[in-house]
Structure 1
Amino acid sequence: MRFIIAAPATLALVYRAYSKNSLTPLGILAAALTAIAHAVHPWNLPFVLLVVFFLAGTRATHVKENMKATLTLKATGSTPSGSGEGPRTHVQVFANSLTATILTLLHAYQLHARKQGLIATGSSPDNGTLCFSWKGDLLVIGIIANYACVAADTFSSELGILSKSSPRLITSWNLKKVPRGTNGGVTLVGLGAGLLGSMIIVTTSVLFLPFCTDLDATLLPGGGQSWDVKERQALILGLTVWGLLGSVMDSVLGGLFQRSVKDVRSGKIVEGEGGERVLVASPVVIPGHGNAQKSEQEAVIGAEVKAKLLSGEGKDAVEETGGSAIEEGDHQVDLKKRYDPKNKQRKSSFGDERPSREVVTGWDLLDNNDVNFLMAFGMSFGAMAVAGWYWGVSLWTIVPGGAAI
C-alpha cells in the first residue's frame, strides 16, 4: 500500500480509537503496529480489511450499548457497566489480528520474491503488485478468512445478546437455555448477525482483490489462472459460510474451555475486564485442620468481603477463637459466625451461606482472548487447507521456499 495513503489512514484510525475510547493506550499502540504491518503489503486489501473490521466491529459494539450494559455485570463490581464492554486492550487487538498480520507479512514477502523472479526473467511487473490467481495465493485465503471469522464472532456477540429469545448452549445435548452472555450461548439473531459480519468482510475483499485476468495470469512465474464468474461466486460463498462457521467454532470453544460465571443475586453473567478470566472464590484450607477443606457453604470469602473486613467494616464478624476460623491479615475470622443467618451482626451483603458467584458452564482452561486467537488461527489455516485441497495446491506453498518442497 502506498505510504501517502497508509500514513494518514493509520493516524485517522488511531485518532478515532482515542476519541471514541474504543481502545486502551496499549490497545492503540497495538492497533498502530498492526496497521503498519498491514500497510507494508503492496496490495490495499489487508489494510482495508483491518480498517473495515475495526470500524464495523466498533459500530456493532455501540449498538444499544446502554441496554447491553444492563444484561451482564462487570467483574469489578455488581452494578451494570453503563458503558458496555469498555475500551479493548492490546491483548484483544492481537487476539483478533495477529494471525492475519503474520499471513500478511508472509504474502508480502511472496509478492516481493515473485517480483524479483519476473525481473530476473526480463519481465516488467506492474509497480511490484501482482494479481490474485485462481489455484494460488493460499495466504490471501487465510487473511480473508481471519477477518471474516473475527467479524462474524464480533457481530454475533454484540448483536446476538439483544435477541428477545434466550440463548441456547451449543455444547449441551439438548441445547438448554442459558443466561445472556454465557460462553457458548447462541441465538438465531446472533447467527444472522455473524453471517452479516462475514458478508461485510468478504464483500470488501472482492471489491479490493486484484483478480488475475487472462493477460495477467500469463505473467506469473510458474503459471497461474484467471478467474471466471463462477469461480468468484464460489470464493464469495465459501468464505462467507466459513466466516459464520468461525463464529460457531468460537462458541463451541468458549462453551467447552472458557468458564462462564453467574452472579448468584442477579442471575446475570459476570464478564471479565478485557476478556480476562472472572475470579471465583475457591475453597481454602483451615489452619490447624490439615488439608481438610470447608464445605462450599462455609468456604467462600469473596474479594468484596475481604476488602470490607480489612478496612474495618467487618469487625463485628471478627472473633479471636479456635474452632472454624481462618487468618486474614492480623485478624482471625470465625467463619460460622460470619455466615450464620441467625447472627444479627452479619451484614446481608455477605450472602446467606453461599458464594456471590458460581460457575455455570465450561472448564477454566482459556479466557476470551485465548478462545478468539485459537479460533482465528485455526479457521485461517483451515481455510487455506480446504482451498489447497480444492485447488490441488500444497499447503507448504505458504512457507517461503515451500513451493519447492
Structure 2
Amino acid sequence: MKPAIAIPAIAVLCYRAYSKNSLTPAGIFAAFLTAVAHAVHPWNLPFVLLVVFFLAGTRATHVKENVKARLTLHSRGSSGGEGPRTHVQVFANSLTASLLSLLHAYQLRVRQQALAEFPNGSPESLCFSWGGDLLVVGIIANYACVAADTFSSELGILSPHAPRLITSLTLRKVPRGTNGGVTLVGLAAGLLGSMVIVTAAMLTLPMCSPDTAGRVGGGVPWTPDQRRTLILGLTVWGFLGSVVDSVLGGLFQRTVKDVRTGKVVEGEGGVRVLVSPAAGGEQKATAGVKAELLHGEGGDAVEDVAGDRYDVRQKNRRSSFGDERPSRVVENGWDLLDNNDVNFLMAFGMSVGAMAVASWYWGVPLRSVLPGDVV
C-alpha cells in the first residue's frame, strides 16, 4: 500500500477509535501495530479488509446498544454491554491475518525483485490468478470468519426467540449471551458479516485478467464461474467460522449465570467470569459476589435476610439466601478458554483450514505458503 495513503488512513483509524472510545489505550496501540502490518503489503487488500471489519464490527456493536446492555450483566454487577475493546481482543481477531499479510508481502517483494530485470515487469503484473497464492485465501478467510462471528454475537442477541445451545443434543434453550447459544437471526447475521468482507475483498483483489495474462508476472485470468466459486466458497467458509466459534465457546468456555436475574454475566474484555470454588458439594458465593446483594454502600451497608436486617460487619452471618446457595452458577461449558482464546483459535484454525482446502482444490502445494518457497 502506498505510504501517502497508508499513513493518513492509519492516523484516522486510530483517532476514530480514540474519539469513539471503541478501544482502550492499549487497544489503540495494538490496532496501530496491526494497521502497519497490513499497510506494508503491496496490495490494498489486507488494509481494506482490516478497515471494513473494524468499521462494520463497530457499527454492529452499537446497534440497539442500550437494549443489549440490559440483556446481560457485567461481572462488576452493572448492566452488560460491550465496553472499549482491549489489545487482547484486537490481536485475537487480527493477529493471524497480520502474520499472513506480512508473509505474503515478503513473497510479493521477492517476486518483484526477480521480475525487475524484465522490461515489462511491474508490481501490477503480480496479480492474483486462479489457483494462485494460498496466503491470500487465508487472509480473506480470517476476516470473513471474525466478521461473521462479530455480527452473529452482536445482532443475534436481539433475536425475539431465546437462543438454543448448539452443543446440546436437545438444543435446549439458554439465556441470551450464552456461549454456544445460536438463533436464526444470529446465523443470518453471521452470513451477512461474511458477505460484507468477501464483497470488499472482491472489489480490491487484483485478479488476473486477459490484459495481464501475457505480461511478466501475470497469471491465469479468471473466468466468471471461477469468480463465483471463490465468492461462494469464502462466504460459506466465513459463515462456518461463526458456527465453529459457537461450538468452541459452548464446549470450552464457561458461561456464568446470575441466579437472581437469570442473565448471563460477562467478563471485562472477554476474560473469564469468576465463580467461587465448590464447598461441600455446592458453590458458595464469593465475598465480591455477596457484596452485590447488599443494600447501600461502605461500612454502613446492610442486607435483608428472611425479613431481618444484619449489620455487614457482624461475623458469622447467615447466607443472604439463607441456605448457602450461590448467586452465580455455571450455565454450561468447561473452564478451559476465555472468549479471546476462542476467537483466536477459531480465526487461526479457519484461516489455515481455508488454505488447506484451496490447496487441495487448486492442486497447489501447501508448502508454497512458506518463505522459502517463493516462485
Q: Scaled by the length of structure 1, what TM-score is found? A: 0.85
Q: What is the rounded CA distance, in whole Å, between the counterparts of 1:66 and 1:220 in structure 2?
A: 56
Q: What is the rounded CA distance, in whole Å, between the counterparts of 1:125 and 1:215 in structure 2?
A: 14
Given that 1:184 and 1:255 are in contact with CA atoms closer than 8 Å, whether structure 2 keeps it comes out as yes
Given that 1:272 and 1:278 are in contact with CA atoms closer than 8 Å, whether structure 2 keeps it comes out as yes
Show the counterpart of 1:398. Answer: 369
- Letter of the aligned partner of 2:10 in structure 1? T
1:1-400 counterparts in 2 under 5 A?
Answer: 1-77=1-77, 79-81=78-80, 84-120=81-117, 122-127=118-123, 130-219=126-215, 224-283=219-278, 293-296=279-282, 299-305=284-290, 316=311, 334=316, 337-339=317-319, 348=320, 352-400=323-371
Shift of 1:214: 2.9
Q: What is the rounded CA distance, in whole Å, between the counterparts of 2:191 and 2:311 in structure 1?
A: 56
The answer for unaligned runs of 5 or more in structure 2 is 303-309
* Post-superposition CA distance 1:98-141 (Å, at most 9, x none): 00000000000010011112124x24432466211111110000
The answer for unaligned runs of 5 or more in structure 1 is 284-292, 320-332, 340-347
Shift of 1:305: 3.4
Given that 2:111 and 2:374 are in contact with CA atoms closer than 8 Å, whether structure 1 keeps it comes out as no
- Letter of the aligned partner of 1:257 in structure 2? F
Q: Figure out how many residues of one structure are paired with residues of the other and give that number.
A: 365
Q: What is the rounded CA distance, in whole Å, between the counterparts of 1:273 and 1:317 in structure 2?
A: 27
Given that 1:38 and 1:104 are in contact with CA atoms closer than 8 Å, whether structure 2 keeps it comes out as yes
Shift of 1:276: 0.3
Shift of 1:15: 1.0
Question: Which structure would you say has the larger Rg?
Answer: 1
Given that 1:112 and 1:128 are in contact with CA atoms closer than 8 Å, whether structure 2 keeps it comes out as no
Q: What is the rounded CA distance, in whole Å, between the counterparts of 2:190 and 2:281 in structure 1?
A: 43
- Letter of the aligned partner of 1:353 in structure 2? E
Given that 1:43 and 1:129 are in contact with CA atoms closer than 8 Å, whether structure 2 keeps it comes out as no
Identity across the alignment (%): 68
Given that 1:139 and 1:398 are in contact with CA atoms closer than 8 Å, whether structure 2 keeps it comes out as yes
Q: What is the rounded CA distance, in whole Å, between the counterparts of 2:73 and 2:323 in structure 1?
A: 21
Helix, strand or coil at the partner of 1:338 = coil
* Post-superposition CA distance 1:211-270 (Å, at most 9, x none): 01234244455x841111000000000000000000000000000000000000000000
Q: Scaled by the length of structure 2, what TM-score is found? A: 0.92
The root-mean-square deviation of aligned C-alpha atoms, in Å, is: 2.1
Given that 1:149 and 1:243 are in contact with CA atoms closer than 8 Å, whether structure 2 keeps it comes out as yes
Helix, strand or coil at the partner of 2:318 = helix
Shift of 1:311: 5.2
